[in-house]
Amino acid sequence: MPTPAEQRSSGTSHNAADVRGLFRKKAPVVTIDGPAGTGKSTLALRLSLYCGWRYIDSGAMYRAAALSARQQGISWTDESALTRLCSQLVFEFSVGEGRPIVRVNGQDVTHLIRAQAMGEGASRVGTLRGVREALIRKQRELGSTGGIVMDGRDIGTDVFPDAALKFYLEGSPEVRAQRRWRELQGRGEHVSLADVTAEIRRRDHEDRTRAVSPLRVPEGAYYIDTTNLSIDEVFDLMVDKVKLFGVSFRDSDPHRGKRCLNTT
């Protein structure tokens, strides 16, 4: 019975051992950026398990900061107090039964941070320079030894601009809203599709226009439009790129991913 890290995605002929073998000398840092609803977290976890690397969910860190602030009665707009709080947070990321587990200062917050309110809180605290700088330092510490897959909105641009391999995932707001709505429904959160779509559009605007670490395509990243692709199809493209990187970069992507030579 293969381990989760050795399981293949549907329809792919990739061999996980071959992928790991490409990086025996130096474990890479792989970044996955993009707006909400593109499947970043699912794909980052899956890629990390497949390749035998660690998965770091940077978005969970902002959600956890918002949760910790609420638990301690700190306003999401109090930058000074939030910055001090973030500097004291200790994050632990692990995987159990194929699912990511997030602990903050020893407390398992995996389920608490997934509430819709914590997503809104993450969006608000993430606009504060002090908070972002404190969490970026912690993200760099977590990835200092390599062998990680980290997803977020500024990982390939600000956290690890020199990462070995970068991906940028995009998708139409309507399709991304449908994905997020189904995810929330599956967790028992009864929200309307219209509300989720409006939240996706609001978050997109905020992410792309904020003064601190705005969402943009990292230089050198492989751009994949996920609008008409399944999770399996996107995963296969990403594994192809990981294996390709083990030899050399190739400018054109015969499938759909395009390597971006300039930031946008």
Question: What one-character-per-residue DSSP string does 121-174 give?
Answer: HHHHHTT-HHHHHHHHHHHHHHTTTS-EEEEESSIIIII-TT-SEEEEEE--HH
* % the chain with pLDDT above 90: 66
In 3D space, the residue among 217, 215, 237, 221 whose CA is nearest the CA of residue 165 turns out to be: 221
pLDDT digits (tens, 9 = 90+) for 79-136: 999 999 999 999 999 999 889 999 999 999 999 998 878 988 998 999 999 999 999 9
Quickly state the pLDDT bin for 23 (edges 50, 70, 90). low
Token code pair at residue 117 = 């309110």
In this prediction, residue 13 carries a pLDDT of: 44
pLDDT at residue 178 is higher than 70: yes
Instruction: Please state the domain extents for the chain.
Output: 25-245
pLDDT at residue 67 is higher than 50: yes
In this prediction, residue 184 carries a pLDDT of: 85
Taking the C-alpha atoms of residue 218 and residue 21, their distance in angstroms, rounded to an integer, is: 27
Average predicted confidence (pLDDT) for the chain:
85
In 3D space, the residue among 33, 34, 19 whose CA is nearest the CA of residue 160 turns out to be: 33
- Selected residue with higher pLDDT from 253 and 18: 18
Query: At 39, which amino acid appears?
Result: G
Q: Which is it for strands 148-152 and 29-33: parallel, antiparallel or unpaired?
A: parallel
Compute the Cα dihedral for 206, 209, 212, 218 and give only its sign.
positive
Taking the C-alpha atoms of residue 156 and residue 153, their distance in angstroms, rounded to an integer, is: 8
Helix or strand or coil: residue 230?
A: coil
In this prediction, residue 18 carries a pLDDT of: 53
User: What is the mean predicted confidence (pLDDT) over 6-31?
Assistant: 55
In this prediction, residue 46 carries a pLDDT of: 95
Taking the C-alpha atoms of residue 126 and residue 194, their distance in angstroms, rounded to an integer, is: 24
Helix or strand or coil: residue 49?
A: helix
In this prediction, residue 252 carries a pLDDT of: 36
Architecture of domain 25-245: 3-Layer(aba) Sandwich (3.40)
In this prediction, residue 231 carries a pLDDT of: 94
pLDDT at residue 239 is higher than 50: yes
Q: What is the DSSP string of 2-44?
A: --GGGPPPTT----HHHHHHTTSS---EEEEE--TTS-HHHHH
- Residues with Cβ < 8 Å from 243, sequence gap 6 or more? 14, 18, 19, 22
User: What is the mean predicted confidence (pLDDT) over 153-157?
Assistant: 96
How many other CB atoms sit within 10 Å of the CB of residue 74? 18
In this prediction, residue 183 carries a pLDDT of: 85
pLDDT at residue 170 is higher than 50: yes
In this prediction, residue 190 carries a pLDDT of: 85
Query: At 21, which amino acid appears?
Result: G
Side-by-side strand order, sheet with 107-108: 91-96, 99-104, 107-108
In this prediction, residue 259 carries a pLDDT of: 43
Quickly state the pLDDT bin for 244 (edges 50, 70, 90). confident
Taking the C-alpha atoms of residue 223 and residue 49, their distance in angstroms, rounded to an integer, is: 22
